[in-house]
Structure 1
Amino acid sequence: MLLNRNNLSTVLYIGYTLLVFQNISFGQQASYKFNNFGNRSMLLSGNVTGSVTDLGLAYYNPARLTELENTGFAINAKAYQFTSISLTNTFGESSKVSNNDFDGVPSMAGATFNLFGTRFAYSFLTRIDTNSDINYTTNTPGNNLNISYPNNQYYLGAYNLKSKIRDEWMGLTWAKKFGDRLSIGISMFGSAYKFTEGSTLSHTLKLEDDSTALYQKIVGFTQQSYGFIFKLGANYNLKKADIGLNIS
C-alpha cells in the first residue's frame, strides 16, 4: 500500500467537493440570467417576449419579426471573462487550491431578408462557452506520513479537474401577419452541444536514493449531441401594450 487511508481520503474529498460546486454552477446556465440575446434582452434580463425589437426575437418570440424594421445584418459584441482564484493552506499546511475559468457570454449574429412576400431571419447563437481548470495540491515531508513505502523523504498529492462546455445554435425564423394585430412566427434551430470533463489524481513519493514512486489515475468523458429545437411564437398588438407567447 503506497499511501495511508487518511491522505487518500483527503485528496478525494477535495476533488469531489470541487466537482459538485463546478456542476452546480454549470446547471444554472440554462436560466434567463445567463441567456440574454440582443441589447433589449440584456437590459430587461430576458423579459422581452412581447416587446423584443431586435434579432433576439429569433430566440424569444419569432412572431415579432413582423414588427422589426429592416435589418441587413446585426451582431452582439462577443465578450469573454477570465477568473482566477487561488487559496493557500486552506485544507492544511502546504496545500493549495486554484480555479481558472475562461468563459464567453451568450452572443448572437444574424440578419433579416424578404422572400416570397414574407419576412425571414437567420441567426447564429452561442448559448454556453465555458472552460474551467481546477487544481488541488499538497506536499508533506516524508517523515510526517504513515505509509508502508520505506525511505521516503517527500510526498506530493495533486488533483486536477478540467471541464469544457460549448452549446451553439443555428436557426432560421419565419413570421407572417394575420390582420392588423396578430402575428405568428416560428424559429427552427439546429444545435450542436459538446461537454468534456476529465480528472487526474496523482500521488508522488521521493525516496532517499532520489528515485520516485508514482501512482496516477486519469478519468474522463466526452458527451456530444446534435438536434433540432423549434420555437413557436405569437404576438398581439393592443393599443397600449403588446402581448407575446413563446412555446419551445
Structure 2
Amino acid sequence: MRKFSLFIIIMTLLVQNVVAQDAHYWTEQYGTKSMLLSNSVVGSVSDLGAVFYNPARLGQIEKPAFVISAKVYQLSNTNFENGAGDDIDLKKSKFGGAPSLVAGTFKIKWLPEHKFAYAFLTRYTSDINFSTRSQVYGDVIESLPGEEYFSGRIELNKKVKEEWMGVSWSKSLSEKLSIGVSTFITAREQSSLIESNLQAYPEDERLEMFTQKNSYSYDQFGLLWKIGLSYQLKRMTAGITVTTPNLRLFGEGDMQYEYFSTAYESNSSVYELDTQDGLEAIHKTPWSVAVGAGFKILKGTFHVSSEYFSAVDRHTIMQSEPFTGQSTGEEKYGQLVNRLNSVFNFGVGYNINVNEKVGAYVSYSTDFSAAIPNSYGIDPREDLVYIGSTFRSDISHFGAGVILDLSWADLTLGATNASAKYAIKRPIDFPNDDASVASVDEQESQIDWSRWRFIVGISVPLFKQMADKLNL
C-alpha cells in the first residue's frame, strides 16, 4: 500500500497547485466601473471603488453614490486533460454568486471640508471541493496474491475567504491635490482537508486498508491601511496608493492528522491519530505600492495602472505541538508555512461615451502568482509540512461592458474573463480495465482554467442627486 500512498500525495499536489487561488492580488475588482476596467483605475477611479483603489479620489469625485455591485454571477471551469491517465480527464465546473462591494458616503457636520465613506468587500475567496476515485478488479497490487478487488478515493477541500470592513477619509489640499486614508478591519478564514481511502480484497480474503487524513483551519482578524494621493488636471488624473501589511489582532486554529493502515502481509499495521486546537495563527501579507493615471482621449478616458507587492519571507502560519504515533512511537508535528515572491501587476482600460446615456468599456490586466516555484501542498522534504499558497499559474483578465445613465440610477451590464493555461507532468495513471497496476507517468497533463463573471451593477445617487436627475 506504500506505493498507493505515494500516488495520493502526488495527486494532491496536482490538485492544490491548479485550483487554489490564494497567491494572487488582482483577482477581484471593486465598483461597477472599476470591474469593467480590470483594476486599471488607481489614478482615475470615478466610483466608490475609490475606498479600495485610492481613497484620495473621494475628495475629487463630484457625485459619490451608494454602490451595490452584488449582482455578479460566476462560472468557473477547470479541466485536467489526461490528468489521471491517457484519455482520462478530470473536470470541475461551478456556477454561483461572486464577491461583491457595498459602499456609501456619509458626512460629519463639524468637518464640512472632509469626505467620508464606508465599505464592505470580499478581498479573497476560494472554495474548492475536488474528488476522484477508482474501482477495478485485477492484479492491481503486485505484493498481494492473485487478483483482488481494489477501490480508492481521494478528496480535497480547500477554502479561503477574507472580508474587509472599513471607513475612508479624504480631503482636498488644493484644487488639484487631495489625500485620503482607508482603514480596514480584516477577517480571514482558511481551511484545508486532504483525505484518501484505499481498500483491497485479495484472493486470500485478508482485507487491506489504508486511510490518511490531514486537515487544518484557522481564523485571523487584523487591521491594515491604504494611504493615497491624487492629482487632477483638466484632461488627466494621477494617483499613488501605499497599502500596509496586515497588523494581526487575533488568530487561532486547529490541525488534525490521521494515518491508519492494516498492512497484514508485512505485519506493520499503523495507527496514528492527533487532533489539536487553540493553536496560534499568524498570516502575513506584503507591502504594496500602486500608481496609475487616466487620460482624456477623444470622447473617452484611457486608464493605466500598476502595482508592486513585496516578497513575504517564509514564516509559520500555524504549528502543532509534537505528538507520538500510537503504534509507531515516532514523534511528529504539523506545520502550515507560507512564503511569497514579489509581484508586479499592470492593467489598461478604455471607456468611451457613445452618447449622453451610454458608455462603453474594455480592459485587460495581469494577475501574476506570488507562489514560490516548485512549492507544493506537501513539502516533500519535510514530514507534515503544508504550504499556504500554492497556485503558481499566472492569470490574464479581460473586461467589457456598457453603463446606461438612467433617470434614477446608473445601470452596469458587462462581463469579465480570467484564464490560465499551462502544462505539468502527469502524476498518476489510475488502474483501469486495461491496466493491471497503477503507475507513475512521465507524460504531461494540460491544465485549462477559466472564470466568467456576468455583471449587473447599480449605482444609486444620494437623495439630493437623485432629485436632480429626476428634475424634482
Query: TM-score surpassing 0.5?
Result: yes
C-alpha displacement of 1:17: 1.7
Letter of the 1:53 counterpart: S
2:240 to 241, 245, 248: 245
2:196 to 201, 206, 210: 201
The answer to whether residue 25 in structure 2 is matched with residue 12 in structure 1 is: no
2:115 to 101, 113, 119: 119
1:42-61 aligned at under 5 Å gives the runs 42-61=35-54
C-alpha distance in 2 between matches for 1:103 and 1:130: 12
C-alpha displacement of 1:176: 0.9
1:1-248 aligned at under 5 Å gives the runs 3=1, 5=3, 7-23=4-20, 25-28=21-24, 30-31=25-26, 34-71=27-64, 73-83=66-76, 91-92=84-85, 97-99=90-92, 101=94, 105-115=98-108, 116=110, 117=112, 118-148=114-144, 153-206=148-201, 213-248=208-243
C-alpha displacement of 1:185: 0.9
Deviations 1:126-163 (A, max 9, x none): 12222111112122214443233x68731111211111
C-alpha displacement of 1:53: 1.1
Rate the CA distance shift 1:86–1:247 in 2: closer, same or farther, 3 A. Answer: closer
Rate the CA distance shift 1:90–1:232 in 2: closer, same or farther, 3 A. Answer: closer
Deviations 1:88-130 (A, max 9, x none): 9853489774535567534210110111212110000112222
Letter of the 1:171 counterpart: G
Rate the CA distance shift 1:65–1:46 in 2: closer, same or farther, 3 A. Answer: same
C-alpha displacement of 1:19: 2.0
Rate the CA distance shift 1:171–1:212 in 2: closer, same or farther, 3 A. Answer: same
C-alpha distance in 1 between matches for 2:5 and 2:71: 43
The answer as to whether partners of 1:55 and 1:111 remain within 8 angstroms in 2 is: yes
Task: Look up the SS of the partner of 1:110 in the other structure.
Answer: strand
The answer as to whether partners of 2:129 and 2:155 remain within 8 angstroms in 1 is: yes
The answer as to whether partners of 2:140 and 2:147 remain within 8 angstroms in 1 is: no
Rate the CA distance shift 1:100–1:73 in 2: closer, same or farther, 3 A. Answer: same
Deviations 1:49-105 (A, max 9, x none): 221111100011111112223445211134343546577985348977453556753
Unaligned stretches of 5+ in structure 1?
none
Task: Look up the SS of the partner of 1:27 in the other structure.
Answer: coil
Letter of the 1:141 counterpart: Y
Letter of the 1:125 counterpart: L
C-alpha distance in 1 between matches for 2:67 and 2:81: 46
67-76 vs 163-172, which moves further: 67-76
The answer as to whether partners of 1:159 and 1:200 remain within 8 angstroms in 2 is: yes
Rate the CA distance shift 1:168–1:238 in 2: closer, same or farther, 3 A. Answer: same
Task: Look up the SS of the partner of 1:13 in the other structure.
Answer: helix
C-alpha distance in 2 between matches for 1:227 and 1:4: 43
Task: Look up the SS of the partner of 1:14 in the other structure.
Answer: helix
Letter of the 2:11 counterpart: I
Letter of the 2:218 counterpart: Q
C-alpha displacement of 1:211: 8.5
Task: Look up the SS of the partner of 2:22 in the other structure.
Answer: helix
Task: Look up the SS of the partner of 1:48 in the other structure.
Answer: coil
Deviations 1:145-198 (A, max 9, x none): 3233x6873111121111111011001001111222211111100101111111
C-alpha displacement of 1:45: 1.4
Rate the CA distance shift 1:63–1:218 in 2: closer, same or farther, 3 A. Answer: same
41-50 vs 85-94, which moves further: 85-94
Letter of the 1:17 counterpart: L
C-alpha displacement of 1:231: 0.7
C-alpha distance in 1 between matches for 2:106 and 2:190: 34
Task: Look up the SS of the partner of 2:7 in the other structure.
Answer: helix
Q: Which runs of 4+ in 1 moved over 6 A?
A: 86-89, 93-96, 208-211
191-200 vs 88-97, which moves further: 88-97
The answer as to whether partners of 1:123 and 1:170 remain within 8 angstroms in 2 is: yes
CA RMSD of aligned residues (A): 2.9
The answer as to whether partners of 2:140 and 2:148 remain within 8 angstroms in 1 is: no
- TM-score normalised by L of structure 2: 0.46
170-179 vs 130-139, which moves further: 130-139
